[in-house]
Every structure is written in C-alpha cells, then in structure tokens.
Amino acid sequence: MNFSECHFDPKIQAGIKACGYTTATPIQSQAISPALEGRDVMGLAQTGTGKTAAFALPILEKLVHGRRGRVRSLVLSPTRELAEQTLEEFQALGRKTGLRAVSVYGGVSKFGQVSKIRSGADIVVACPGRLLDLMQDRAVDLSRVEFLVLDEGDRMLDMGFMPDIRKIIQSLPTKRQNMLFSATMPQDINRLAEDILNDPVRIKVDHERPLESITQCLYPVERMPKPEMLLTLLKQKQEEATLIFTRTKHMATKLAKRLNSAGFQARDLQGNMSQNNRRRVLDGFKKGSFTILVATDIASRGIDVARIDHVINYDMPDTAEAYTHRIGRTGRASRSGEASTFVESANYGLVKAIERRQKQRLLRKRLTGASRPAGR
C-alpha cells in the first residue's frame, strides 16, 4: 500500500509526507483499512514494524473533523519511553491537524500533565499507573473516549499492569473502538482481547519469527569464560551500538564496570533507577555518547532505539518468546542487525525450542569466526 494512494485528509497526508513515509509496512497495510472502517483490531507483530502509525493514522483521521478540546482517544503504553515515542509520532503525523496530544507517566510532577490535559487534549498517551492516579484525583475525564489502544500488550502484562488496565477500561464508555497490539499472545493477553475486543480483525505479521534483517549466531560456551568471550566479541564489533542482556541487575552492573575497565564505553540500565537517571542513560545511548548498554529484561522494557546494531545474550533468557523480544531490538527501521547468544550446556533445550519456533536451525560459531560443525 502506497500512502499517496490513501484517502487521508490533506492535513494528515502532509504529516505523512513530512515524516518521509511512502510505502506502508505489512502491519500498517493490513490494520489501517479496517481501523478506518471502525473495526476493532488485534495486531500481532514484532517490535519495530510500524505499529504506532498503524493505529495513529486512523485515529487522527477520525478525530480531525470532530469536536476538539476533550479526550477522545486513549493509548495505554507500558513505559515512559514508549509513551514519549508514541506522543512524538502523533505530533509528527498530526502536525497540520491542530489536534493536541499529551503524554502521562510517573516519575515527574502531575501538575504539568494535568494542565496540558485541561487545556484541551484530544489524545492521551498514558502509562496505566499514573493515569489511575489522575483518575482518582478526578484530574482527567475519560467519559468521551471513542478510541482505546493497548500498545505492547505483552510488555504491560510482564510489568504487572493488567489489574490497572482493567480498572481503567471499566471507567470508559462501552461504545468505543478498540485496538490491541502485541508482539506475542500469552494467555492473559488473549483473555483480555476476548473481553474488550468486539469481533476484531486479527492480523499476524511474522509475530513468532524475528525480523529477517537479523543475523542470529550461537556461541557455545566451552573453554573460554563468558567475560573473555564477550570482550573478544566486542573487539570484533568496534563502534557498533550494542545491547547486552544479563539475567540479574547485579550482573548488569558488574559487567558494565568490567567493560569500562577494558576500555569500552558502557552503561548499565537498572529497573530500580529513578526516571531521570533512566532517561539520561537512554538518551546517552540514543545519541551515541556511549556504545554499549547492559540491561536485564525488566530494565530494558521500553527501549526503542532504531540504531542498535547488535544484541548479545550474555545470559540466555527463560523462554523462546523472551529470546524473540530481546533480539527484536536490532534490525529495526529497515536496518540490518546481528544477535549473538552465549550458550551453555544447560541451554540447549531452550535452543531447540527457539529453533522449532523459528522453523530454522541457528548458526553455531566459534569466536575465531569459523562455523561450528553440525551437531548440537
């Protein structure tokens, strides 16, 4: 689907053109038309496939001719970073429409957010916890919401937001259009979809397989300790933006210190960081102030950086779905990426599960660069 052929309002077409969008991604081409028709949408697709525009464009088109100055669209996001990124997308695509979008999340003062909402917000992009706070304070009126989007549903499930989400949904008008987007479909997300979606259009875009732009390699842990393996691998990948996953916060901190001592520019991202510190670390990584970020699965929620060249699983994740989540942080926005995984003997059961899920055998390599012979 070519955006120039779509019958969007000229003001929205101007935003599309300014963003440089020409051809829709698969999730966009399949979701936009039914959303414009008023259908509920259940979209399953990997991170970085253009899901935000898939719901932002139909919402803007529906709102552009309606009454202004009241909250008519609500988007729920798992993290501050994702909420900000979604807000920026709405603002960029809707720059000529006059529609006002605001973001709502914890870790900062409520007063500025409340002021923006009361000054006439049409679209609210919110993290569930802070939104519930504002609802309890009677600082936000959701009685006129016509569109509800749950973005990154599986992430919100992982972060324990399901009870908050259900409380928020109970306060919304029953007559509304709903869209739910997720990279995976755990049972709790499936139940939520059944509860809130009305005869939805179901879209699946390679949600179980990583993006084809990602080269995946396994590095069996044999005689060389993992810290030495990591240093060896990083020396081969100088200047690449690299995201390293560890199992624990302690290991993330320890590893970042070791990398800095070895002459690399590294920072760790901790789930117990303040919002301001977390934001400074993420901004530094995005701007290239340092090239290596070490994080756990929980701490990494909401990282959305198009320029990540390399993901390294220093510690294997717990599930095949978590593996898919991790490596999906690279190979985004039409860029190629690489995912390297250190595999110990106890991990081969999970490796087989990952290969069954992807319907392919992953390449084994030694750090000398020679491919590992067939076998495990």
What does the alpha-carbon distance between residue 341 and residue 357 come to, in Å, rounded to a whole number?
Answer: 16
Fold of 214-364: Rossmann fold (3.40.50)
Architecture of the CATH domain 3-205: 3-Layer(aba) Sandwich (3.40)
Number of Cβ within a 10 Å radius of residue 240: 16
Please give the chain's pLDDT, 376 residues, in tens.
888 778 899 999 999 999 999 999 889 999 999 999 999 999 987 667 789 999 999 999 999 988 898 999 999 998 888 899 999 999 999 999 999 999 999 988 999 999 999 999 999 999 999 999 999 999 999 999 999 999 988 878 877 889 999 999 999 999 999 999 987 777 888 899 999 999 999 998 865 555 677 899 999 998 789 999 999 999 988 778 999 999 999 999 999 999 999 999 999 998 777 767 887 898 899 888 999 999 988 777 656 676 789 999 999 998 887 888 788 888 765 578 899 999 999 999 999 999 998 888 999 998 864 334 334 4
Given this model, what pLDDT does residue 334 score? 58
Given this model, what pLDDT does residue 272 score? 74
Tracing tokens 């909250």 back to the chain, one arrives at 71
Burial class (CB in 10 A: 0-12, 13-18, 19+), 220: buried
Given this model, what pLDDT does residue 47 score? 67
pLDDT digits (tens, 9 = 90+) for 139-167: 999 999 999 999 988 878 877 889 999 99
What does the alpha-carbon distance between residue 196 and residue 174 come to, in Å, rounded to a whole number?
Answer: 9
Q: Would you kindly state where each structural domain of the chain is located, as residue ranges?
A: 3-205, 214-364
Kindly provide the residue ranges of all beta strands, DSSP E only, lying in the chain, ordered along the sequence.
41-45, 73-76, 101-104, 123-126, 147-150, 177-182, 201-205, 214-220, 242-245, 266-269, 292-295, 310-313, 337-343, 363-364
- Give Rg (Cα) of the chain: 21
Number of Cβ within a 10 Å radius of residue 203: 19
Tokens of 61: 């088109």
Say if 3-205 and 214-364 have the same CATH topology: yes
Nearest 5°: CA angle at 309, between 304 and 312? Answer: 90
